[in-house]
Structure 1
Amino acid sequence: MKKYNWGLIGTGWIAHEMADALNQVNGEIYAVTALNKDRLIKFAADKHIKKYYLTVADMLADPKIDIIYIATPHIFHYDYIKKALNAGKHVLCEKAITVNAKQFDEVQQLAKTKGKILSEGFTLYHMPIFKKVLHEIAANKLGKIKMIQVNFGSLKDFDPQNRFFNKDLAGGALLDIGGYAVAFARLFLAEQPNTTLTTVKFFETGVDEQAGIILKNSRQQLAVISLSMRAKQPKRGLVSGTKGYVEINNYPRATTAEFTYTADAHTEQHNTIVAGNSSQALCYEVADIQRYIENGHDNGQLDLSHDIAHLLDSVRTSWGLEFPS
């Protein structure tokens, strides 16, 4: 496989994790840029990055860079994605990839026009355990899939100034943790939902603090999603069918899946499958993105992100929530 040069935008905590993964997979990182010069210089030194740039424009102008990784607050993603694609770079952007579906549709089309890979940073797409679970489902081990239940609850510090609760930065549970829950649901639904029912509790800053979401598609499959930024919940996903169910805990970086088979609705058989290592989640992601570029396609991942972006829009429209940006 070709050696790819990555350029990072941002030096926050997830950028630290990604830098470690890039060093592990590729042995080096080519470049980084960020707004805070002191943090930028320290980050570059700590992660053994060859170059640092004081502006995004300067980094994008470097012809040696193949892939741009974006790890900034949501509201900056759209602009950076467009600039990176127009500069001829492939892009991996942290979720939420854009703050609304209109922006997503534009960057998806731009990536297609430019012939570049654009991908959203959902680790669950890359964890080996999901390939095994999807194989079991395709083999009809759970029968017809009827119901999906997904939880994700964080207990964020009560700080109205934090980006998690900052409306100007498109904060709130839906775009921060909700994308993961909706991504899990969409992965196991046979088709895109066409019905959305939801209710929300707003935080004092006007962003969504917690919510319940029900999705239904034309095949009558249901997904029930529970989100919170001020109440801890397990990151648990449950996929139920006519022959049993599978439970996946810590699903963003899952390594195990617990199957329960109930073909006659009275007796149960249990099976646990194991695959992958949660500490390697971003390494799997890096390897897959580079493989997508090598192969010239992303195995439908951006199409899933398209569906997720439109579902998030549908939910937020139901709430009447708009961001200043």
Structure 2
Amino acid sequence: MVDTSAAPLDAEAAAKAAFAAAQSKQFPSDIFTAPQLRWAVIGCGVIANQMAESLALAGRALAGVQNRTLAKAEAFSASHGVARVYGSLEELCSDPGIDAVYITTPHNTHITYLRACLAAGKHVLCEKSITLNFAELDEARELARAHGVVLMDATTILHMPLYRQLVARAKAGDFGRMNLAQVSFGSFKPYDVHTRFYNRSLAGGAMLDIGVYALSIMRIFMESAPTEVVSLGNTCETGVDVAGGLVCRNAEGQLGVISLTMHSKQPKRAVISFDKCYIEIDQYPRADRARIVWTEDGRVEEVGAGEEAYALCYEMADLERAVAGDQDAARLIDYAADVMRIMTDARAAWGVVYPEEE
């Protein structure tokens, strides 16, 4: 019998559906709990628009916007009720009316904006992949320390309430020892050297675009960062990676098995195996539901926390908490650094080098 049920929506369509479903709901009072910051966004693409729409659900709005093309920034401002439009990065950075900046531009531009914003004393939430490589992230973290501001990675895995709940239970020993994470992420991206997915000059490739999600969910359930990684990667004629497999092991002997591809659609699926159970998470980048299957009796426990529609609000809320002194939120950047080291080393092994790294 053929299964005629619909396949999962792509990320952009899924986000739109989640926003639509949330329109009639009251915004939760437990998301934004720290003092509110005045935010500006750099970039006017899909993610920036999603952020503005997420904030609107909370009755909030961005305070400023800057974009390489001024006309796009003005259109974005008009669409989302953004108070200030900046004609340059320098103008934004010099505005004392902005406390925090959300960077949503392409990967290879992040370090330029990070340097300027952090040096100007702005807290920064930066879209994935936070930098091109570990050296850039290390530089940005040092800048944040030197200027007394918070730097945070916007990878949704680090911020969704579902993971906060599951990791807390894992650390409390509810599940027993974590043994293995099996994580897949497959997208079908038509081959076009001009798109960011395959363009080396736009830091294309599977690792920075989708690998960051898979490695992040593996890392948050591990007791420590992997110390051993073996991998294979396939590249295309432009020199970027289009598929890859990684096996990671840490000092505790916990394993992670990661599969990535931009040539084939496959489930965004994570299975985290423990002594007492395994956890299944589908569509894991912004997941708000999971299944725990208990080993002893096969009992299935359905778990839910948070909502997909508020994914980008959770990111901003975590940065505001970190600024207010929440050390758990501030330490999320450590997970990002562990993931970035793995990605940097794997790309080096595959010979994937971007122009900025030559």
TM-score by length of 2: 0.87
Q: After the TM superposition, which residues 141-290 of structure 1 pair with which residues of structure 2 at under 5 Å, given as runs? A: 141-263=174-296, 267-290=297-320
2:347 matched to which residue of 1?
Answer: 316
Count of residue pairs brought into register by the alignment = 322
The CA deviation string for residues 179-219 of structure 1, in whole angstroms up to 9 with x for no partner, is 11111111011111111111111122110001111111111
2:82 alignment partner AA: I
Shift of 1:241: 1.5
2:134 matched to which residue of 1?
Answer: 101
1:282 alignment partner AA: L
Q: How many Å separate the matches in 2 of 1:123 and 1:39?
A: 26
1:273 alignment partner AA: V
- Tell me the SS of whatever aligns to 1:247: strand
2:260 alignment partner AA: L
Q: Does structure 2 retain, via aligned residues, the 8 Å contact 1:155–1:231?
A: yes
Work out which of the residue numbers 121, 127, 140 in structure 2 matches 1:88.
121
The CA deviation string for residues 129-180 of structure 1, in whole angstroms up to 9 with x for no partner, is 1122123322323221111011111111221110111101111000011111
- Tell me the SS of whatever aligns to 1:141: coil
- Tell me the SS of whatever aligns to 1:190: coil
The CA deviation string for residues 208-255 of structure 1, in whole angstroms up to 9 with x for no partner, is 001111111111111000111121111111110122211111111111
- Tell me the SS of whatever aligns to 2:130: coil
- Tell me the SS of whatever aligns to 1:295: coil
Q: How many Å separate the matches in 2 of 1:46 and 1:131?
A: 33
The alignment-based identity, stated in percent, is 37
The farther-off stretch of 75-84 and 25-34 is: 25-34
Shift of 1:26: 5.5
1:168 alignment partner AA: S
Do residues 77 (structure 1) and 110 (structure 2) align? yes
Which 5+ residue runs of structure 2 have no aligned equivalent? 1-33
Shift of 1:296: 5.6
Q: How many Å separate the matches in 1 of 2:36 and 2:273?
A: 42
Do residues 50 (structure 1) and 88 (structure 2) align? no
Root-mean-square deviation (Å): 1.4
Work out which of the residue numbers 286, 291, 294 in structure 1 matches 2:321.
291
Q: How many Å separate the matches in 2 of 1:155 and 1:15?
A: 23
2:143 matched to which residue of 1?
Answer: 110
- Tell me the SS of whatever aligns to 1:281: helix
Which 5+ residue runs of structure 1 have no aligned equivalent? none
Q: CA 1:84 to 1:296, structure 2 compared with 1: closer, same or farther past 3 Å?
A: farther
Q: How many Å separate the matches in 1 of 2:311 and 2:74?
A: 26
The farther-off stretch of 125-134 and 46-55 is: 125-134
Q: Does structure 2 retain, via aligned residues, the 8 Å contact 1:69–1:91?
A: yes
Q: CA 1:2 to 1:259, structure 2 compared with 1: closer, same or farther past 3 Å?
A: closer
- Tell me the SS of whatever aligns to 1:311: helix
The farther-off stretch of 242-251 and 66-75 is: 242-251
Q: Does structure 1 retain, via aligned residues, the 8 Å contact 2:232–2:350?
A: yes
Shift of 1:77: 0.5
Shift of 1:299: 4.1
Q: How many Å separate the matches in 1 of 2:55 and 2:113?
A: 20
2:179 alignment partner AA: K
Q: Does structure 1 retain, via aligned residues, the 8 Å contact 2:118–2:124?
A: yes
Q: Does structure 1 retain, via aligned residues, the 8 Å contact 2:41–2:103?
A: yes
Q: Does structure 1 retain, via aligned residues, the 8 Å contact 2:157–2:286?
A: yes
Q: How many Å separate the matches in 1 of 2:150 and 2:189?
A: 33
Q: Does structure 2 retain, via aligned residues, the 8 Å contact 1:22–1:286?
A: no
TM-score by length of 1: 0.95
Work out which of the residue numbers 18, 27, 41 in structure 1 matches 2:51.
18
Q: Does structure 2 retain, via aligned residues, the 8 Å contact 1:117–1:296?
A: no
Q: How many Å separate the matches in 1 of 2:105 and 2:233?
A: 26
Q: CA 1:255 to 1:296, structure 2 compared with 1: closer, same or farther past 3 Å?
A: closer
Q: How many Å separate the matches in 2 of 1:178 and 1:10?
A: 23
Q: How many Å separate the matches in 2 of 1:218 and 1:3?
A: 40
